[in-house]
Structure 1
Amino acid sequence: MRLGMVIDTSRCIGCHTCAIACKHENNLPRGNWWNRILTDGGSQMDTPAGDWPNNSMSYLPVNCQHCENPACTKACPVGATYKDPETGIVHQDYDKCIGCRMCIAACPYTGVRSFNWEEPEYAIDFPVGGAVPAHQKHTVEKCILCVHRVDKGLEPACIAVCPERARHFGDFDDPESEVSKLIRERECKQLLTSEGTNPSVYYLV
């Protein structure tokens, strides 16, 4: 399989529901976001480009691209970031991670990984979300496509909660899957194709 997602940018309303669901489902520490909604407009979040009345604004959700040819796995000296040969999901093993951050340096997609400089802190004093590994000091972390949900036959949290159905999840190796049909029938793009990573996240335009 080659699991990944298709995001319809024409339907994304920038509500950040996917980012919040990701944070809750993966019990992310304070300050960590695996899923961000960038504003393709002004210089700050949720600000339009242009001058009134000729303004424009659109959104670009960004997370780990789960590349078919990931640069991060080649850079990691200890195999802490690796690609699952059965699903194509790029994983992160906190127990193996030595905190060298070579994966961050190698990844062409800025901001999709975060590093825990200190012991993780949380807004509340009990864990939330699914059965995820405990976050650790001096480790890199990132989107793992909610593999704990996928293993149970469920969609990643960000897919399940999107109110506008802008996100779709499936197997790109299955020509009859929804994601395969979408990229076959609609105009789409991938981010930084010049890097040769072949991301498993496609954006409908």
Structure 2
Amino acid sequence: EGTFPNTKHFVMPVLCNHCSDAPCVTKCPGNPEKAGPGNPYKALYKTPEGITMHNPDLCVGCRECQTNCPYSHEKLDASSLDGGSYSVISFNAMDEHTQPRWADKTSAIPGCTASGAEVSALAGAMPPMLNAWKGGDLQPVRQDDVVEKCTFCYHRVLNGLQPACVEVCPAKARIFGDQDDPNTEIAQILKMEKSFRLQEEKGTKPNVHYIGKYSPRA
């Protein structure tokens, strides 16, 4: 915002807000038959820590979660280019190629850059940025016909670690912790700083806060 050269910049990554009143959890039909009598059957559920988790083994691919989440869209249009729309819940349809550019043999810039297929071949993975870690309910590549979302790296949190995005952020711009514990860094910062949350008027009680702007000339 502002007029060059006196501008302020605001970078706003979007992710699952792990809402306290999460409509995705409420609307998820789950799979009672596969879960078995008396067992939890919803693919989306809340952990004791308040994280909104997803179990792909119980997901039926109905996308009710995506439809009812105020932070998600089934299809992103041109407004997504300037942040007007985005989606924190993803879905790979079985009959669609999700990242066709990495199989494309056409150079991005003819005579100058490699093609997507060449990059994948050199990386030895498709897509080339593949993270092959898997554990529990989490698999290295998103399955077809089930949704996927941020889980705050619950497998790490259970072992006393920070979510991967928090740990690797070079600017230390991400902070994760218990907002209800006054001794945590996140609770202290939220007490000192003015923050906002996305679409609070929707009543979902999102738990991801955004703080601050910066000026390169400050």
Instruction: Give the TM-score normalised by structure 2.
Output: 0.65
Contact 1:146 1:156 in 2 (8 A): yes
The answer as to whether partners of 1:120 and 1:137 remain within 8 angstroms in 2 is no
Unaligned runs of 5+ in 2: 31-41, 73-86, 100-125, 213-218
CA displacement 1:123-158 (0-9 Å, x = unmatched): 259852353622321000000000111111100000
Matched residue SS, 1:170? coil
Q: Cα offset for 1:91?
A: 0.6
Partner of 1:58: 10
Amino acid paired to 1:90: T
Q: TM-score if structure 1 supplies the norm length?
A: 0.69
Higher relative contact order (CA 8 A, sep 6+): 1
2:49 corresponds to which of 70, 87, 111: 87
Deviation at 1:186, TM superposition (A): 0.9
SS at match of 2:151: coil
Distance 1:106 1:160 in 2: 31
Q: What aligned pairs does 1:7-156 form with structure 2 within 5 A after superposition? A: 52-53=4-5, 55-78=7-30, 79-84=42-47, 86-110=48-72, 111-118=87-94, 122-124=126-128, 128-129=132-133, 131=135, 133-134=138-139, 135-156=142-163
Instruction: Report sequence identity in percent.
Output: 39
Deviation of the 1:163 alpha carbon: 1.0
Q: Distance in 1 between matches of 2:143 and 2:169?
A: 29
> Could you tell me which residue of structure 2 aligns to residue 193 of structure 1?
200
Per-residue deviation at 1:167?
0.8
Computed over aligned residues only, the root mean square deviation of the Cα atoms, in angstroms, reads 2.2
CA 1:59–1:125: 2 relative to 1, 3 Å = closer
Question: Which residue of 2 is the match for residue 181 of structure 1?
Answer: 188
Q: CA offsets, 1:12-39, max 9 Å, x none?
A: xxxxxxxxxxxxxxxxxxxxxxxxxxxx
Q: Number of residue pairs matched?
A: 156
* Structure 1 contact 130–148 (Cα < 8 Å) conserved: no
Higher strand share: 1
- Who is 2:36 aligned against? none
